[in-house]
């Protein structure tokens, strides 16, 4: 099957092409193993680049997108669709591409799939008047709707009277695996004898970083050598300030994927502190599978699908500093050795691609 993936070049703070990161690159790299011919058409609204590159055997057409580049973007998208005569157009990463994708799939008589990898209602573009109405129309009319979580499937099912399919986020199990703790700490230049609480991912209030900082502050005075080690970019949100300049907090800024593996393995406890909000209730975080793949001790809040796949002993109430701190303390003191990799294996990118292959061939 010839597939064109219409996507943003960027998700949150990450360049999915330049950093070879995320659901789009990993899922479709794995999907190629099922004998599909896959191209990407990527909107670049930051660097405004126009170039063609190859990534894992996938042709990637990067095109500048913005007010002054709108017509050239449309021209090149039309040319791509005319030239190859695709069997499937899949829109992902942003609801804007859902609307674009639906229109051009109809124009060229191509099957259309819409991948909802978040609750797009939380995206800034939804503030445009009547945008929600257009997106809802696309959700109803698309040939295939894919959601990243079962909780999002239930939400979408309230407005779509046709099938909705779930393809969760996965992990690269060849990369994310247990490593020696001391060696991992040495690579990241972290103290060998410290007690380390770790978090990797976007740093913002919506994903519970202030709660994690407060929980750490409540623990650090009576646990010797306790450190909170954070990795990731701060996502700037108007009116939001993250106070990370505190004693005992180490911010490693942005790490590459190999370094993230070292951070997880360096940790005594790896934390996912999501509060309950309209974003976290419907997401499926990469990090929960990555933590499990490394057999880390985990503390996660009981939100969305995370509550369904994470062992109960690792879960705590969301939006509670006390509950988060108590569970972290419990895990720091626990002598048990986690064995979560079998859970993670269900969410390999190969398994996710196998599910996607079945969906697009049979629907």
Contact 177, 261 (CB under 8 A): yes
**Domain for residue 176, yes or no?**
no
pLDDT for the residue numbered 13 = 74
10 and 87 both lie in a single domain = yes
**Domain for residue 267, yes or no?**
yes
Q: What angle do CA 228, 272, 292 make, to 5 degrees?
A: 105
**Domain for residue 270, yes or no?**
yes
7 and 52 both lie in a single domain = yes
pLDDT for the residue numbered 139 = 97
pLDDT for the residue numbered 239 = 62
Please give the model's pTM, rounded to 2 decimal places: 0.94
pLDDT for the residue numbered 143 = 98
Q: pLDDT tens-digit profile of 9-35?
A: 998 778 999 999 999 999 999 999 999
**Domain for residue 307, yes or no?**
yes
97 and 165 both lie in a single domain = yes
pLDDT for the residue numbered 127 = 93
Task: Name the helix (H) or strand (E) containing 165.
Answer: strand 165-166
**Domain for residue 13, yes or no?**
yes
**Residue-wise burial string across 323-353, b where 16 or more C-beta atoms lie within 10 A, e elsewhere:** bbbbbbbebbeeeeebebeeebeebbbbbbb
E strand intervals along 184-256: 195-200, 226-231, 249-251
Contact 357, 351 (CB under 8 A): no
- What is the CB neighbour count within 10 angstroms for residue 118? 21
110 and 194 both lie in a single domain = no
Residue 319 belongs to domain with CATH number: 3.40.50.2000
Sequence length of the chain is 363
Ranges in the chain, pLDDT < 70: 237-239
Contact 272, 291 (CB under 8 A): yes
Q: pLDDT tens-digit profile of 100-136?
A: 999 999 999 999 999 999 999 999 999 999 999 999 9
**Domain for residue 256, yes or no?**
yes
pLDDT for the residue numbered 244 = 87
Q: pLDDT tens-digit profile of 217-257?
A: 999 999 999 999 999 988 776 667 778 889 999 999 889 99
144 and 192 both lie in a single domain = no
pLDDT for the residue numbered 347 = 97
Contact 301, 275 (CB under 8 A): yes
CA distance 227 to 220: 8
Contact 266, 132 (CB under 8 A): no
**Domain for residue 248, yes or no?**
yes
133 and 51 both lie in a single domain = yes
Burial class (CB in 10 A: 0-12, 13-18, 19+), 128: exposed
pLDDT for the residue numbered 245 = 86
Range of the domain at 228: 181-345
Taking the CA atoms of 27, 28, 29 and 34 in sequence, report the sign of the dihedral they define. Answer: positive
323 and 356 both lie in a single domain = no
CA distance 169 to 288: 10
pLDDT for the residue numbered 238 = 67
191 and 132 both lie in a single domain = no
200 and 145 both lie in a single domain = no
Number of domains in the chain: 2
156 and 185 both lie in a single domain = no
């Amino acid at each position: 099957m010839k597939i064109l993936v219409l996507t943003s070049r960027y998700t949150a703070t990450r360049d999915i092409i330049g950093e070879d990161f995320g659901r789009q690159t990993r899922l479709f790299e794995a999907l190629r193993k099922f004998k599909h011919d896959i191209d990407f058409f990527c909107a670049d609204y930051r660097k405004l680049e126009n170039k063609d590159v190859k990534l894992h055997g996938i042709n990637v057409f990067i095109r500048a997108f913005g007010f002054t580049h709108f017509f050239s973007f449309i021209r090149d998208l039309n040319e791509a669709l005319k030239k190859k005569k695709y069997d499937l157009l899949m829109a992902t990463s942003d609801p804007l591409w859902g609307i674009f994708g639906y229109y051009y799939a109809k124009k060229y008589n191509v099957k259309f799939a819409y991948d909802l990898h978040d609750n797009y209602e939380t995206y800034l573009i939804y503030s445009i008047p009547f945008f929600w109405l257009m997106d809802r129309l696309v959700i109803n009319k698309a040939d295939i709707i894919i959601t990243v979580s079962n909780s999002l499937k239930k939400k979408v099912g309230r407005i779509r009277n046709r099938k909705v399919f779930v393809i969760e986020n996965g992990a690269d199990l060849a990369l994310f695996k247990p490593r020696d703790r001391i060696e991992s700490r040495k690579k990241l230049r972290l103290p060998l004898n410290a007690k380390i609480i770790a978090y990797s991912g976007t740093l913002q209030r919506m994903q519970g970083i202030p709660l994690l900082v407060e929980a750490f502050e409540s623990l650090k005075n009576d646990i010797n050598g306790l450190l909170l080690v954070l990795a990731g970019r701060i996502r700037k949100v108007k009116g939001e300030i993250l106070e990370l300049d505190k004693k005992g907090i180490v911010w490693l800024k942005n790490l590459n994927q190999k370094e993230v593996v070292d951070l997880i393995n360096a940790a005594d406890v790896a934390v996912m502190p999501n509060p309950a909000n309209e974003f976290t209730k419907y997401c499926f975080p990469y990090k929960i599978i990555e933590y499990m793949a490394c057999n880390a001790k985990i503390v996660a809040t009981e939100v969305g699908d995370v509550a369904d796949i994470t062992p109960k002993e690792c879960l705590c109430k969301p939006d509670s500093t006390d509950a988060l701190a108590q569970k972290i303390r419990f895990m720091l003191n626990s002598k048990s050795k986690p064995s979560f990799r079998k859970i993670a294996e269900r969410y390999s990118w190969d398994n996710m691609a196998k599910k996607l292959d079945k969906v697009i061939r049979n629907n």
